[in-house]
Structure 1
Amino acid sequence: MKDWAGTGRAYADSYASLCVGTAGALLGMLGAPAGRSLLDVGSGTGLLAASFVDAGWDATGCEPEPTMREVALQEHPEIRVRDGALPSLPFADAEFDAVVANFVLNHVADPRASAGELLRVSADLVAATIWTSSPSWLWREVCDRAALIPSEGERLPPEKDFERTVDGFARMLGDAGWTSPQVSEITWTWSADAPALWASAEGGVGGAGQFYRALDDAGRRSFRAAFISVCDERSIAGRLPLVHSAAVAVASHR
């Protein structure tokens, strides 16, 4: 799966603001906090966990990547952040009232085992999100203009993978033991800052960042020039409007 090593700062300055776009939907699905405890698995740089704290949850983060945890501790010192990764979390059974994994199950090597682990450490509610549509066209177009062959991306073995749709996500979660998960799709436009997007590529964030890191100097120059060209054409008032969709799931096992 994707290598996130050393990407904490670049992620915080770019895609963190995109991924927190599910916060409102998750908060609505989990209900009133009433001082309950919540674990944010794959908490990254802490922006989503901070949203839960602001809403009244007693939130803890869990993140395996050291530079992500470093940024989280710098920018959100009020949040406890533990080192740990799916599918084996360093917590007791039913330790938290609610457990959330935001855009995590689309990155793990065993989605069903990982979804089952979320269930294990929850006493009540579990929630998770995956991408159903993201503007990967942007980076494909950059590659086309740069005359570069885009990476196909790493895929799970068929027996581990699942369909990245609302129904496919629901079926996978059911296989993992979630009881009657409620799954819906949300769509929003992320107004992206072009310099921050470029910083994500240089910083090795996601598939585009890993592709850029693997290029030689000539390839990087071509990729950069094509990125500037696409942004010049697509930007509105200096920002790139990028439409995203995500499947958001919640279940209870009381």
Structure 2
Amino acid sequence: MIDADYDAHERSRWAGRAEAYQRSFGRLCAYPTQALLEAAAVRAGRRVIDVGTGPGTVAAAALARGAAVLAVDAEPSMLDAARRAAPGAALARAALPRLPVRTGGADAAVANFVLNHVGDPAAAVAELRRVVRPGGRMAVTVWPSPHPPLQRLWREAIDAAGVSAPADLPRLAAERDFPRTETGLASLLAAAGLVDVRCTTVTWVHQADPADWWAGAAAGIGSVGLVVQRQPAAARERIRREYVRLSAAYRDADGTLRLPTAALLGSARVDRPGT
């Protein structure tokens, strides 16, 4: 059963936010792009579906490899951005776990930081498997737990400001969640009937302008943005002040933030037709 409330909430939280996302978290999420495409064996002439394309970063990189790309997203502002970034890609408004692709219609599927935003990760992986032909590969990225310093910075700023997440925010049902570890992600892929499962941790240092990084949270981007936007003005200002104070430990001499972070990269091969 799909968690409709969770998925509907995820759709609403991204409405009209493509520009804010690109200014802040979009650059962060772009880092694993080439590793993601390599894990999915994206090559010239391959048919690739980029699920949750966002502003089209992965789609554009796949096109640069000579692939034929279908870029899918549920949010119109993201599709507009993807159209500009990847003008050679076909676009479709859709979301997991229902993709407008026939069974086995793609040579590869990629989903960059998408499984973090679905109400039923197992159903989402099953749909990715369905659309990839036997012999093709799929690859996904998710944020790990425990959180690396970049994500911990936001949690520490919120805690220091004395703020709690709103109690009415939808949460992924425990029985549908999976451990955000290499083993947990690999198990999720294997449970879908995928083979040659691989999972690694990609690490990097994200560089950001402090104002741009705060602007994303203030605009409601990411989990931290959900918390920030739901606060009264005084609480938002407390979070901002704590963010400025705590982020000073990560600033270079020129003021640029250098935030260590990581992502889980999982990939697998489809060995028989999906359903």
TM-score by length of 1: 0.92
The gaps in structure 2 that reach 5 residues or longer are 1-5
Q: What secondary structure does 1:181 align onto?
A: strand
CA distance in structure 2 between the partners assigned to 1:154 and 1:191 by the alignment: 31
| Pick aligned residue for 2:142 from 130, 144, 147 | 130
Q: Note the aligned Cα RMSD (angstroms).
A: 1.9
Q: What secondary structure does 1:86 align onto?
A: coil
Question: Structure 1 residues 188 and 233 mapped into 2: Cα distance closer, same or farther (>3 Å)?
Answer: closer
Pairing 1:82-161 to 2, within 5 Å after superposition:
82-123=92-133, 124-132=136-144, 133-134=147-148, 135-150=150-165, 155-161=171-177
Q: What secondary structure does 1:149 align onto?
A: coil
Aligned to 1:226: 242
Matched, 1:177 2:189: no
Matched, 1:57 2:74: no
Query: Which residue type is aligned with residue 249 of structure 1?
Result: G
CA distance in structure 2 between the partners assigned to 1:32 and 1:144 by the alignment: 42
CA distance in structure 1 between the partners assigned to 2:263 and 2:45 by the alignment: 28
Aligned to 2:78: 68
CA distance in structure 1 between the partners assigned to 2:268 and 2:85 by the alignment: 31
Q: Deviations over 1:23-71 (max 9, x none)?
A: 2212332336131111100111101111111122222210001111122
Question: Structure 1 residues 33 and 137 mapped into 2: Cα distance closer, same or farther (>3 Å)?
Answer: same
Q: What secondary structure does 2:174 align onto?
A: coil
Conserved? CA contact 1:4–1:206, under 8 Å: no
Conserved? CA contact 1:140–1:150, under 8 Å: no
CA distance in structure 1 between the partners assigned to 2:190 and 2:101 by the alignment: 23
| Pick aligned residue for 2:255 from 234, 238, 247 | 238
The gaps in structure 1 that reach 5 residues or longer are none
CA distance in structure 1 between the partners assigned to 2:54 and 2:170 by the alignment: 21
Q: What secondary structure does 2:14 align onto?
A: coil
Q: Which stretch of the first structure deviates more once superposed, 140-149 or 76-85?
A: 140-149
Aligned to 1:45: 55
CA distance in structure 1 between the partners assigned to 2:37 and 2:125 by the alignment: 19
Query: Which residue type is aligned with residue 158 of structure 2?
Result: C
Question: Structure 1 residues 243 and 159 mapped into 2: Cα distance closer, same or farther (>3 Å)?
Answer: same
CA distance in structure 2 between the partners assigned to 1:233 and 1:168 by the alignment: 32
Query: Which residue type is aligned with residue 244 of structure 1?
Result: T
Shift of 1:14: 1.1
Q: What secondary structure does 1:33 align onto?
A: coil
Q: Which stretch of the first structure deviates more once superposed, 131-140 or 35-44?
A: 131-140
CA distance in structure 2 between the partners assigned to 1:80 and 1:183 by the alignment: 29
Q: Percent identity?
A: 35
Conserved? CA contact 1:12–1:71, under 8 Å: no
Aligned to 2:3: none
